[in-house]
Structure 1
């Protein structure tokens, strides 16, 4: 029975003193949110907390939807029926439900009803100060009755009707005849409805508040219209600029890939062996910059780049086209960081040079190598940190003055306003770039 009704079931019996009753049996539903966490058998119940149960003992009649307080202090709804033997109530069968949430919603609705009633009184029977207040607000305000007839409007609403509909606003006019596409908001049964509507080429945020009288009956609606046309136009401009910016990114990416294709073509047609290395490095730098725009075009933002995704894209490209050794690259990207495209280009070049140095120089004396790339934010300093660690066995000064490291130094200091360090440790070589967070989110 408890599972069937999703309620707690009890049998209570009277005591000799008759000033309280005692629980003799219980059954709980198979649910996590049970009404009682501990057994209440042999516990006493008192009339001030469960008046419905005591009424059954007194009248021999069932009571339904009676409210009380449980032994654990929860507001409950009780349905109680007497168990009669020899024309005497010997026990009561009780079904209880926790209505704490229901009571909370009822209190909210009561407060909302009182608030809307007060608002209705202010609008329907305003004092001079209240009239002045309603004309001070930016929204066009209408008070309409239950038949959707206008019974009050402020100065902003009067101007709106004149501008949009082309007639003078008067009390007694049908609101839905003036604004037919708002009618469904008045009949949807909601106490408060907020939607956007287009009226005669203008965009409005429409707020509809249902009003109640002191008996809780619907007495009308307050309608407020806020002109958001300028906001909508700015949104359209932003969308247009976003589309144009994405097209620019697309063309930049295509142009960079065209340059890369020309370099590949030149390399296939033959170049001196001593120049091949420089062509490959230049090609990788171009492709790293192109990766910035590929990540932008794959993402949801017009000019923001997911730096973690960018670093992974560059690292995978460099390892797959690198030396013949077996190279393994691992990434530890803390979370998604988005930076503007101009900053992302600088980060892309830095990441390219750091990983290229590992691929090119770190593993000349071994057949297999590992590269660990870490990117994230230092919570103490708030700065972003990019670290590239290899397990190569090269000497400390082997590429200390390379062109790639000069690129990292220059970009880190001038473009990222950060700091670059490179050091040997027990694993191999660690390159580290620390720079400010340029607006990641």
Structure 2
């Protein structure tokens, strides 16, 4: 499968800054796919502006995929995907249209523009497998509402945030734990995994209704001087994507706060969190073993140097040539 950089180089005429923005977007869009319970396809206009190329594709972890086949590199002429055409030309989110059928599966398609520096540079098509649809729970409704906010921000060029923390193996994802905050930083909804993580940090009361930043800072006060207050970052008040790690009562929780700013208005924040206690315990155990191995190596090296010095001293005292040669060889 061709990667994003290769597809863009072969089929498009995007400016380097736009290419970098799409790389940043694709690095973040697993979250959007999971919150949407939908597949995402990134359509970029071809160099001749007569069609679009599928530059990237992502499937949701939270639901069944709508497309089994890989579509990256597929080129379509304008008119083949009416919703994609409309999102591109009108610069707005398009949700109209009847479900289409693919491989016997009803699929609902939506399309929204990707804006950068005030210009539409691509379109994301969101495909939802309706065969997997059911009456949504409170968790799923919260996911979908957050997905709608992120889609609006992408269409306005407000997401992803430049300088977002690079995703690592310990970065939290939607399924690890999710909290929705209002504009004041208070918890509107917390998933069961999120509640469990805060219980491990020492929370005894209800999480819904509390100010998340203040509660986090109280449960796990930072040691020493910090560049930015934890309460400020966790609440999404920093106005940018932020990731912090807190520790209390032997538990370690990693939190990522994403401000929700559709229309430029602060609606609150989406906080993803993950209990990384066991992961950090293993890392510390490895560091301890590494330090022990280094210490053993250091002591063995010192002992060998001592033995070598004694052998050289003994060799200087020997008269017999063969014995001296043997000791010199040993050193």
**TM-score, structure 1 normalization:** 0.34
Larger radius of gyration: 1
Whichever structure has more strand as a proportion of its residues is 1
**TM-score, structure 2 normalization:** 0.44
Larger RCO (CA under 8 A, 6+ residues apart): 2
